């Protein structure tokens, strides 16, 4: 590995200024033998039949009609060199994901009280899960392949990492402050982490809790939105890209939860109004929205890993105008992932949930910030909406307007640190007026669950920049919509294109991701009917 020039990024020597040269295309693990799929040195092109069912409703009766649409997909095989810039680089998640990539890149192992441990990417759906490819032609057994090998994707070991933080603490010191990693692992990466110092970030005190003020020693001058801030962040991205010889940069917000911004006509409801509001320093433009605007202008995909409403209507419209990718909101790591899986199971099993009570206590800086009511309200909204689509889908259990009682409580308890405690009670009606109560106690090592999600979001977002599609035979190739709803599996409150439904059911979200990958190589979704084993 050869270090690049210093200075422009604000780093000395670091993972952020070093890139593996291993990101050129590698041979695919499998190829598809079909007249509908073509491989060239540069692209994989597929012809794909998208099958859906169209329903017409008349006088309460349904008429279902199968519908087929033919599409072409094209995926660039060359990944290139990719950089990840984190907003909140010096926080628990930022230090954990940086140390984790360093450990994996170097193949580190270390001692713990429970014995030796080695670097891995457990918890990453992209790096540590598999996908059914099909059935073995000779034995009839399922053939499963790593999800990462479905299409050419960047390997997280090859990411250049940098970013911003309102705290100027170097990452070795910030890693100690976070109290997430084993001391022996910290010792192995400390020297490299100590060389990484975050770039100054923008800081608008009204948007995060007052108890964060003592961290804010590394800020860009100015306490309200401005075009100067947008341009400052754009230059940071360009400098990082240039200093590291990158083909593209993905930016991800893993900083403090902000309060919700009010949606005000004439302020943030259109792209034009939003840009004017930034120009005049309107108080309802948040730091995360300013970051999003800077990334949109630089055509760097921006992902929001916190629950605030970063993507106000004007921001979404701006992304659409620039054909830039955005995605969010809020990492779906522990309690909410369990909830979206369990509620999906129960409602699909015909069990009527009538109340869900979720209690959390945590002691990391996220918990400290969320002890402020305005910031907690952002988290409460993202956690409370995750069952809505599942409830709405079952009109047998729930009549119009009916919904389970759903309460979310978060308390800051410093003693538990990053080991968040999540307690959930699910109360449901069952057969003949009976009841079922399910209680869960989930101890989530918060940042060790969130860090792999950061990797997933970045790897998938980068991949989407190389996929284009069109109606079969049409002249112009197009990218996906600016709002990357394909990221929903990793997010609590998935952002979707305006006017489209939100899907929170975990199984549907994963199927959507996998089936996009399959379409790109001309494969039908696996239907799991296994008729080949049932018909003789």
pLDDT in tens, 455-472: 999 999 999 999 999 999
Q: Which of 165, 329, 330, 456 is catalytic?
A: 330
Q: What pLDDT is attached to residue 362?
A: 80
Q: How far apart are CA 444 and CA 526, in angstroms?
A: 32
Inter-residue contact 521 to 355 (CB < 8 Å)? no
pLDDT band, residue 383 (cuts 50/70/90): low
Q: What pLDDT is attached to residue 51?
A: 95
- 399 carries an active-site annotation: no
Considering only residues 24 and 411, tell me which one the structure prediction assigns the higher pLDDT.
411
Q: How far apart are CA 308 and CA 261, in angstroms?
A: 8
Helix 171-178 and helix 183-194: axis angle, to 10°? 150
Q: What pLDDT is attached to residue 366?
A: 73
Q: Which of 420, 424, 446, 456 is catalytic?
A: 420
Is pLDDT of 4 > 60? no
Is pLDDT of 9 > 60? no
Provide the total of helices (H) and of strands (E) in the chain, helices listed first.
14, 18
- 235 carries an active-site annotation: no
Q: How far apart are CA 284 and CA 289, in angstroms?
A: 10
Q: What pLDDT is attached to residue 26?
A: 61
Choose among 312, 325, 316: nearest CA to 285.
Answer: 312
Q: How far apart are CA 121 and CA 451, in angstroms?
A: 9
Q: What pLDDT is attached to residue 23?
A: 45
**Mean pLDDT throughout 126-130?**
97
- Per-residue pLDDT tens over the stretch 347-373: 999 999 999 999 988 877 777 767 667
**Mean pLDDT throughout 227-247?**
98
- 186 carries an active-site annotation: no
String of DSSP letters for 151-171:
S----GGG-EEEEEESS---H
String of DSSP letters for 425-474:
EEEEE-GGG-EEEEEEEEEEEHHHHHHHHHHHHHHHHHHHTTEEEEETT-
pLDDT band, residue 417 (cuts 50/70/90): confident
Please, what are the domains in the chain?
A: 15-23+79-330+448-520 (3.40.50.720), 335-447 (3.30.360.10)
94 CB-near residues (< 8 Å, 6+ apart): 86, 88, 163, 165, 171, 174, 254
String of DSSP letters for 3-35:
----STTS-SSSGGG---S--S----S----ST
Q: What pLDDT is attached to residue 140?
A: 85
Share of the chain above pLDDT 70, in %: 92
Coil, helix or strand at residue 375: helix
Q: What pLDDT is attached to residue 410?
A: 84
Choose among 467, 515, 514: nearest CA to 50.
Answer: 515
Inter-residue contact 385 to 403 (CB < 8 Å)? no
Q: Across the chain, what does the average pLDDT equal?
A: 90
- 492 carries an active-site annotation: yes
pLDDT band, residue 6 (cuts 50/70/90): very low
Inter-residue contact 98 to 193 (CB < 8 Å)? yes
Q: What pLDDT is attached to residue 501?
A: 87
**Mean pLDDT throughout 30-38?**
94
């Amino acid at each position: 590995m050869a270090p690049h020039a210093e200075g422009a990024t604000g780093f000395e020597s670091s993972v952020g200024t070093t890139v593996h040269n291993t990101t050129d295309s590698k041979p695919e693990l499998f190829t598809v033998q079909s007249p509908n799929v073509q491989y060239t040195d540069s692209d994989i092109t597929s012809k794909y039949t998208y099958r859906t069912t169209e329903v017409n409703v008349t006088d309460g009766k349904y008429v279902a009609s199968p519908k087929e649409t033919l599409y072409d997909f094209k995926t660039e095989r060359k990944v290139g060199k990719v950089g990840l810039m984190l907003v909140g680089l010096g926080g628990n998640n930022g230090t954990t994901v940086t140390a984790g990539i360093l450990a994996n890149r170097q193949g580190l192992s270390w001692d713990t009280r429970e014995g030796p441990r080695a670097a891995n990417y457990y918890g990453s759906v992209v790096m540590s899960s598999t996908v059914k490819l099909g059935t073995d032609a000779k034995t009839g057994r399922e053939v499963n392949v790593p999800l990462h090998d479905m299409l050419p994707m960047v390997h997280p070991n090859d990411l250049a990492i940098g970013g911003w933080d309102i705290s100027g603490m170097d990452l070795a010191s910030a890693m100690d402050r976070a109290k997430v990693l084993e001391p022996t692992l910290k010792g192995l990466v400390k020297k490299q982490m100590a060389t990484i110092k975050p770039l100054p970030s923008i800081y608008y005190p009204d948007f995060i809790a007052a108890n964060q003020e003592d961290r804010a020693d590394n800020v860009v001058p100015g306490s309200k939105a401005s075009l100067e801030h947008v341009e400052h962040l754009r230059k940071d991205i360009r400098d990082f890209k240039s200093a590291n010889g990158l083909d593209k940069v993905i930016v991800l917000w893993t900083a403090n939860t902000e309060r919700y911004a009010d949606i005000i006509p004439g302020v943030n409801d259109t792209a034009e109004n939003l840009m004017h509001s930034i120009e005049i320093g309107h108080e309802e433009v948040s730091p995360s929205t300013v970051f999003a605007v800077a990334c949109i202008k630089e055509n760097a995909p921006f992902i929001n890993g916190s629950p605030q409403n970063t993507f106000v209507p004007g921001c979404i419209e701006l992304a659409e105008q620039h054909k830039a990718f955005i995605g969010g909101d809020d990492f779906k790591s522990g309690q909410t992932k369990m909830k979206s899986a369990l509620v999906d199971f129960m409602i699909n099993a015909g069990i009527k949930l009538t109340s869900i009570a979720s209690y959390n206590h945590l002691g990391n800086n996220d918990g400290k910030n969320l002890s402020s009511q305005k910031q907690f309200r952002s988290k409460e909204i993202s956690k409370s909406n995750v069952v809505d689509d599942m409830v709405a889908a079952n009109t047998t259990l729930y009549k119009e307007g009916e919904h389970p009682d759903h309460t979310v409580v978060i308390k800051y308890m410093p003693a538990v640190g990053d080991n968040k405690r999540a307690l959930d009670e699910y109360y449901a009606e069952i057969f003949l007026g009976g009841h079922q109560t399910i209680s869960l106690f989930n101890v989530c090592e918060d940042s060790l669950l969130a860090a792999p999600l950061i990797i997933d979001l970045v790897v998938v977002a980068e991949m989407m920049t190389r996929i284009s599609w069109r109606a079969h035979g049409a002249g112009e190739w197009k990218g996906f919509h600016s709002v990357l709803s394909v990221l929903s599996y990793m997010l609590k409150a998935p952002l979707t294109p305006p006017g489209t439904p939100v899907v929170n059911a975990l199984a549907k979200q994963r199927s959507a991701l996998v089936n996009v990958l399959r379409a790109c190589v001309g494969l039908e979704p696996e239907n799991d009917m296994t008729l080949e084993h049932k018909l003789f």
